[in-house]
Structure 1
Amino acid sequence: MKFLDIASLDPINTALVFENPECRVVGRIETYSCKLAGVDKKLYKHLESQWNSDLSESVSPDHNHSLHDIISPFGPMDQPSSRRMLFNLIATLNASYPDYDFSDVKPDQFTKHQSVPMVCNYINNTLFNLGHAYIINNLALWKVIDEIIELDECSVYSFNPDNDSDPNAEDGAIWSFNFFFYNKKLKRILFFAVKCLR
């Protein structure tokens, strides 16, 4: 994944780090190209090897399920396109949290959201409740994001980590969210992460 340095996100990212009387909020929006870099190729081979191993085990006589049966937000995991989508999200997490390794994250730790507007509304409500509606209005949050990722062409996923894979657990986060806006046509992911700390 190649990080894309987009200047129009700078004022928004600055505004996404703030304190209010109840908590400290740390948020960021990052954009990545889905083109494979050197380290990504190694990760992709590792994940493909892992899935191929799981597939060969699943067709053995003592297993009664296959990768096709694995429920995933990406579709059947025996399909290369499903595994590629999982890889894209894992590679984005690895790039965004360089001190962590997400290569063992499972498909069921992600959710595919059916409605982009509902996710946008959730983020709006969160920022409004934190007293920072001006990020939406004054900084034209969604206009800027739409210019980068074309929201109408996006799929949206979220990462729902367990305690072992949560990069925010060590910080003592009260809550956090991690959304991925994926535009297949542009081969681009916009990662929107916010955590609330005491």
Structure 2
Amino acid sequence: MKFLQEPGMEAINAALNFETPECKVYGRVEPYSCKAAGADKKLYKQIEVKYDPSSLMSPPDDDSIRSIISPFGPMNQPASRRTLFYLIGTLNASFPDYDFSDTKPEQFRKEPSVKIVVNSINATLFNHGKERAIKDLALWDWIDQVIDLEESDVYSYNPESDSDPNDEEGGGTLWSFNYFFFNRKLKKIIYFTMRAVSYGAPAEEDDDDETNNFNTDDDDEEGGVGHRRRKTDDTEDDDFVAGEMEMQF
């Protein structure tokens, strides 16, 4: 997945980070192209081996794969596996110190409509008295220009308690959400996440990193968030450039 630097994004992300009398709120919107980078090659192969019934290394029972709970459709279908690949790849890109390749299809949910998600996010911001991103910075106009909301599906990520990237080791998270606005035609995803952290929680190491960790190459084994740490010696695909890898879908 290739991160897209879009004009106006920094101001919006700054407005999504604020303090209230009860908590600190950290939010960010990140656009990605679905073009595969080098690190995605291994992930794609892992998903194909796990869910493709034609793979020699996959379980021979096609019905067992078909019956897997998935918001994308039957996992024996290439389109379903491709969607899972895109969403996990986005998480890996957004939390670069961790590996989400074991994330299960059932940990995602397809939302009923874009409108419901938009209203939910708006309500969250208005309830905290922080509507600047919506009113002054035209958050939804910006997202629509990047991804075309009418043509997009929305998925949410609902991690298990021990694999929540927003609440590692009981980080004091009061609430959080993870939404993926996915336009299949444009092959773009906008990852929109927010979390509220109680004042009693451990302080963030660097608040600036909270809105910019998609640009870091930090290999510090003590940093980052996520449910499984990447191996620091896994550099096999590091030389691949986003968009240059040909993948058969």
1:58 aligns with 2:58: no
Q: Structure 1 length as normaliser, TM-score?
A: 0.93
Aligned residues: 193
* 169-178 or 12-21, larger mean C-alpha shift: 169-178
Aligned residue in 1 for 2:126: 128
* Amino acid in structure 1 at the alignment position of 2:41: K
Q: Answer whether contact 1:90 1:103 (CA < 8 A) is retained.
A: yes
Aligned residue in 1 for 2:189: 189
Q: Deviations over 1:141-172 (max 9, x none)?
A: 11111011100000000000002221111232
The Cα of 1:8 is off from its aligned counterpart by 1.6
Aligned residue in 2 for 1:163: 161
Equivalent runs, 1:45-124 vs 2, <5 Å: 45-52=45-52, 55-59=58-62, 65-124=63-122
The Cα of 1:76 is off from its aligned counterpart by 0.4
* Amino acid in structure 2 at the alignment position of 1:191: Y
Runs of 4+ with deviation above 3 angstroms: 52-55
Q: State the alpha-carbon separation in 1 of the partners of residues 34 and 165 from structure 2.
A: 22
Q: Deviations over 1:24-60 (max 9, x none)?
A: 000000000001111101110112112246852435x
Aligned residue in 2 for 1:172: 172
Q: State the alpha-carbon separation in 1 of the partners of residues 50 and 69 from structure 2.
A: 17
The Cα of 1:189 is off from its aligned counterpart by 0.2
Q: State the alpha-carbon separation in 1 of the partners of residues 157 and 59 from structure 2.
A: 28
Q: State the alpha-carbon separation in 1 of the partners of residues 71 and 154 from structure 2.
A: 10
Q: Answer whether contact 1:17 1:26 (CA < 8 A) is retained.
A: yes
The Cα of 1:83 is off from its aligned counterpart by 0.5
Q: State the alpha-carbon separation in 2 of the partners of residues 197 and 12 from structure 1.
A: 20
* Amino acid in structure 2 at the alignment position of 1:34: C
Q: Percent identity?
A: 58
Aligned residue in 1 for 2:145: 147
Q: Gaps spanning 5+ residues in structure 1: where?
A: 60-64
* Amino acid in structure 2 at the alignment position of 1:190: I
* 130-139 or 175-184, larger mean C-alpha shift: 130-139
| Greater strand proportion | 1
Q: Answer whether contact 2:166 2:173 (CA < 8 A) is retained.
A: yes
Q: Structure 2 length as normaliser, TM-score?
A: 0.75
* Amino acid in structure 2 at the alignment position of 1:45: K
CA RMSD of aligned residues (A): 1.3
Q: State the alpha-carbon separation in 1 of the partners of residues 66 and 46 from structure 2.
A: 20
Aligned residue in 1 for 2:218: none
